[in-house]
Amino acid sequence: MKIFSNLDNVTSYKSFKDLRKWQRERRKKVKDLSINIEQSPTKKVREINENRSRTSYTWIGHSTFLIQMNGMNILTDPVWAKRMGLEKRLTEPGISLAELPEIDVVVISHGHYDHLDFPTLKKLKGNPQYFVPAGMKSLFNRKGYQKVIEMNWWENTEHGGITVHFVPAQHWTRRSLKDMNTSHWGGWIFQTPKETIYFVGDTGYFNGFNQIADRFSIDTVFMPIGAFEPEWFMAPAHISPEDSVKAFMELKAKYFVPMHYGTYRLADDTGPEALERLIHEWEKLQLPKEQLKVLLLGETVI
């Protein structure tokens, strides 16, 4: 059985001893979990259901986006789960499953439960084409999904007038005791002659951003900013807000859309803390305000 690894063989998961150390530290921290990311007061549910031509993206929460591109409805890492392990979801999804249009494409960044939720996939409208990392197709087939294409890093394929690329990330994966890193992890790039959108997936900061910048001219990047604290534990697998800005600059992208914060408590930072640090770094570096697209839950950019 193939075991997948990161660029430069960086190890991004921690030992049981490290986990116990983090748990001891966590008990000493008191965080205010009552302040959460807000829902958008104006949701464009009717517009996205009728849209067949314009590019749009809607943040559902965590790493889940509805992207409309070239007449296709694309979902990234669809997770509407009310719980993640012992932790309750902190915010409601920005749009309910019932309000979604029929889905044409689903991309999965990796197999962790906060990115791959089969109960959610069962409820999607339509008969989507699934794009998954190498090593994951057999799991989907066992669950009854046949329209599955698995890809290795730097591979691409055409679908509905969009070129779909699978690119590296620095992470790891596991769904059971016996499947550590038996499938890969990465980001997805959607490319048409008019624009290029990059969904980073889950990652630590790594040299792959420079490699991606060498190959692509990115318009919009959906970049993770949360689940970074404590950094001694999380840094190899979860990028900090400050490093996410550094990665954005290396990518030379036009727009930064933050994600992977404020929905599930996966680490010690809170959603508002992640956002505060991101904005502080953005202002410190005097980057143009209009390039940072902070979305409310359920907010749509057309």
Predicted local distance difference test score (pLDDT) of residue 12? 77
Predicted local distance difference test score (pLDDT) of residue 26? 81
Predicted local distance difference test score (pLDDT) of residue 1? 86
- The answer as to whether 13 is a domain residue is no
pLDDT tens-digit readout, 165-195: 999 999 999 999 899 999 999 999 999 999 9
Task: Reply yes or no on whether the pLDDT at 19 is more than 90.
Answer: no
Mean pLDDT of the chain: 95
- The answer as to whether 31 is a domain residue is no
- The answer as to whether 129 is a domain residue is yes
Q: How far apart are CA 216 and CA 199, in angstroms?
A: 13
- The answer as to whether 293 is a domain residue is yes
Nearest to 169 by CA among 237, 231, 116, 230: 237
Task: Reply yes or no on whether the pLDDT at 18 is more than 90.
Answer: no
Q: How far apart are CA 48 and CA 67, in angstroms?
A: 10
CATH code (residue 90): 3.60.15.10
> What percent of the chain stands above pLDDT 90?
89
Predicted local distance difference test score (pLDDT) of residue 33? 78
The total number of structural domains in the chain stands at: 1
- The answer as to whether 80 is a domain residue is yes
Averaged pLDDT for residues 221-238: 95
